[in-house]
Amino acid sequence: MAEHGTTGRPSRALRRVLIPLALAQFICSFAGSNMNVMINDISADLDTTVQGVQVAITIFLLVMAALMIPGGKLTDKYGRKRCLLIGLVVYGVGALLSAAAPGLGVLILGNSILEGVGTALLIPPVYILTTLLFTEVTSRARAFGAIMAMGGIGAAAGPLIGGLITTAISWRAAFIFQALVIAVIIMLSRGIEDPLPPDPTRPFDVRGAVLSAVGLVLVVTGILAADDNGWLMIGLLLAGALVLAWFFMSIRQMERAGKEPLLSTALFRNRTSNLGLVTQNIQWLLLLGVSFVVAAYLQVVRGYNAIETGVIFTAATVGVLASSLGAERFARRRKQRSLIMAGFVVAIVGIGVLLAMVGGSPSPWAFAPGLLLIGLGLGVMLTPSVNVVQSSFSEELQGEISGLSRSVSNLGSSLGTAIAGTILVAGLTDRAYAAAMIVLAVIGLVGLVAAALLPRKPVPMTTETVPHEHA
């Protein structure tokens, strides 16, 4: 498949390949936020509570984060296209099961487990294929821009689309919509060619996969337990930290023994990539955290229905879309570091506006300016962060860094819902809303500091299998 046509742009065949890859990121991001506007409808229909729906949303995000690293590694063994298609099928089955769920348990099985597993299998191939197929720096940046734009739009537009479908038909129809989009992606994916052949003999680190997944689950579960039992929260967080430390020691031990671990420790020695991963994590934490807090507050405290809540989120969608459309132009004029820093500043200001204007106005449109700024800020920095991380490593490590990158991003999504959601659900008052937003703003400042520490000059991609740390 040719990289370029006669104009220097990606060939028509490559542009066609980009459509299903971008749609796959869109539907997975959509799934992470569209349930936020269905809180009242689902809890009433399934005879559960707001906390129950929050748990379902968080488990979905957590399953993605916990399994994304193993999912990325499996692409080397079984092939990127095969993992993509298997993930799409598993996701589609989960969406249909969710649509028919008679209770919260089946909804968690379909949405949180199966859709989460499907996403963990299909998303790493999206980023690996993009990196391998788009080898020229400019075309790769453009491709990542399209994919991240669709991801940001999916997350921001999820409440609006979910609200429209829920109000016009039912919340169950929103899952049927997901299954239909998955079917379209499967059809469009038939023309994708895997640039590298799979290697069935390649070993898979089962112990590492289990340890990484258990550690992440314990950490997020500990945060969710904060409003129930402080000692339980501390115990789970400590247990999660110990398991993750065990995981890191395990992969170091395997490398010293000459074996292939789940992740190469070389991934953690690249300073630029590490800082990029921090910014990725916090970007998605802010997006999903704000989405859950505002949606839950509007429905539970102010009594808005799904469509009213979704329409208010149009401002965030417009912001993400506007800044994403300008991503290529911004990239030509500004350094990636500058774009990421600017994005955090605008998003933090947006959170401040949400606090100031909402507190002084009963109108639902008081949320629009703040959500617009948050959307603009996130749209500006999503693509540069991904490009910083993916371009830091050579082909040999693309499976691992892609899985790690997506895991870190989805961990941010689950942490956003868990941290901000736990603060809000504990009180469900104006004061709890303000507290949750302040916490998100502080976390945004941490992301800004990480972005400021990125190198001022672009760092060339590591060509060795074991990359050196960048100054």
* Cβ 408 vs Cβ 400: under 8 Å: no
- Digit-coded pLDDT (tens) for 341-364: 999 999 999 999 888 876 666 676
Look-up: residue for tokens 């209770």?
103
Q: How many whole angstroms separate alpha carbon 45 and alpha carbon 151?
A: 29
Q: What per-residue confidence (pLDDT) applies to 137?
A: 62
Could you tell me which of 67, 197, 76, 175 has the C-alpha nearest to residue 123? Answer: 67
**What integer best gives the mean pLDDT of the chain?**
80
- Digit-coded pLDDT (tens) for 112-150: 899 989 998 988 888 888 878 877 666 776 777 788 778
- Domains of the chain with bracketed CATH: 13-204+262-452 (1.20.1250.20)
Token pair of 269, please? 């020695």
Q: What per-residue confidence (pLDDT) applies to 48?
A: 84
Could you tell me which of 444, 452, 445, 449 has the C-alpha nearest to residue 338? Answer: 452
Whether 153 shows a pLDDT value over 90: the answer reads no
Q: What per-residue confidence (pLDDT) applies to 461?
A: 44
Mean pLDDT over residues 212-235, rounded?
77
Q: How many whole angstroms separate alpha carbon 395 and alpha carbon 462?
A: 10
Q: What per-residue confidence (pLDDT) applies to 72?
A: 77
Mean pLDDT over residues 5-33, rounded?
75
- Digit-coded pLDDT (tens) for 3-16: 544 344 556 767 78
- Digit-coded pLDDT (tens) for 60-73: 877 877 787 788 77
Whether 465 shows a pLDDT value over 60: the answer reads no
Task: Kindly indicate the confidence band of residue 428, based on its pLDDT and cuts at 50, 70 and 90.
Answer: low
Q: What is the CA radius of gyration of the chain?
A: 21
Which amino acid does the sequence have at 225? A
Token pair of 145, please? 């821009």
